[in-house]
Amino acid sequence: MPSFAPFRAWRYAPGIDLAAVTAPPYDVLSRADVARHKLQHPNNIVRLDVPPVNQAGYVAAAKNLGLWKKNGTLVRDDQPTLTLYRRHFVDSATGLDRTVIGVIGALEVRDEGSGGVLPHERVTPKASTDRLDLTRATQANLSAVWGLSLANGLTHVLDAIWKSITTKSDQPQPIVFVADEVKHEVLPVTQPNDIALVVALVSAHDVLIADGHHRYGVARLYRDEVRLAAEPSAAKNPAEATLAFVGELVENQLTVDAIHRLYDDVSVDDLLAALGRNFELSPGPAPAPELLAEMDRLGRLILVTPAGQTTWLTPRRGAFDKVRSLDSVWLEHSLANLTHVVSYQHGYQEIIKALPCHEAAILIRPTTVTEIRRTATQGLLMPPKSTFFTPKLQTGMVIRSLDD
């Protein structure tokens, strides 16, 4: 099982508005998003976590980090801590108010295939140089991996600790801020008994990577570099772990959206011919956001062209008896022998906006939490981009140093 531990976190100093200085993860930010966050505050986290992708950018990020530590923009915990992190939001699928909770700490970096920290989907080829060079320059974990623990009752334990801390006047109180229509609450955990309880529970069970497969892979590369450079007698290095947010793998703690497919270098006719072997094809309605709910109700997928023509894809009886009941698997299986290029986009409005630049899109249904758990417990992998966990974690609430 992977170890999970507290650490002496760097945090923005009291009085600095976290809504102004935090940001979503680097891999969901456009250039316009980065520019907007820079304008929000001169010390926004994107100046560290999303620098220009070149050596000068990494050096500038490292200089900024060092300056912020010296001038008091960032302050360090006096002792190793964990951090409870709650998000309150309206579920876009159900319209219901949701509250989810997890804990931020240092998750052990384990070798691929050694168990304990489990991937849930294959990753798309992606250069790791940027994140690795940034880690080398800053010697810090800036953006957390999102993990899902198989520890039953973790949510209950975290809720109980939250209540225990917040009802005591001599304990730290949550820092509350709103970003992207999500209410975020951050609460350091300083009491040794509370820390020990959480550490023991998380460390006793597997953790599934929900979001941040590449970040975890870069942490492994960086750890290996540090091991090679270390003296044989050196103490255990911080690179043996990485910054992680861990929540419980249960339905009421997760909102999973679909990541839809965009197709290129293939004609719509060829797509439909290949799909028709496993799906019944029938005319669909005009594109509209309501299609997503209709797909769920009918058990279908739908193909959309840039001209707005739609085709229902209804699985043929028996066509997928020997493959997993997962939309992304069905498509991969059906198009395996067809030359094409696939890319990915979450969100209905986003896919419709992107569609004119592509040959066609196929809207798929969200992966269920039941299927995610089965993936973890059976050691399976989904196709790339099978899940989109939301709302995203904010980056910048906690920074973990790797140089001491």
pLDDT at 258: 85
Q: Which fold has domain 259-365?
A: 3.30.1760
- And the tokens for 158? 């975290």
Quote the CA–CA distance of 66 and 63 in Å, as a whole number.
5
pLDDT at 126: 57
- Partners of 146 in beta bridges: 211, 245
Distance between CA 74 and CA 54 in Å, rounded?
25
Extents of the domains making up the chain: 4-255+389-401, 259-365
Backbone angles phi, psi at 209, to 5 degrees: -75, 115
Cα 230 to Cα 239: distance, rounded to the nearest angstrom: 11
Report the alpha-carbon distance of residue 105 to residue 278 in Å, rounded: 45
**Residues in the chain, overall count:** 404
Extract the tokens encoding 242.
Answer: 């990485």
User: If you write DSSP's letter for every residue of 4-72 in order, what string do you get?
Assistant: EE-B--EEEPTTS-HHHH-BS-GGG--HHHHHHHHHH-TT-THHHHS--SSHHHHHHHHHHHHHHHHHT
Q: Can you give the pTM of this predicted structure?
A: 0.86
User: If the chain, 404 residues long, is cut into consecutive pieces of 10 residues, what is the mean pLDDT of each piece?
Assistant: 95 96 93 95 97 95 98 97 96 81 97 85 67 96 95 96 93 92 96 97 94 90 91 75 95 84 96 97 93 91 96 96 89 95 90 95 89 78 78 95 90
Which tokens sit at 32? 């316009």
CA distance 48 to 255: 28
What is the pLDDT, as a whole number, of residue 234? 56
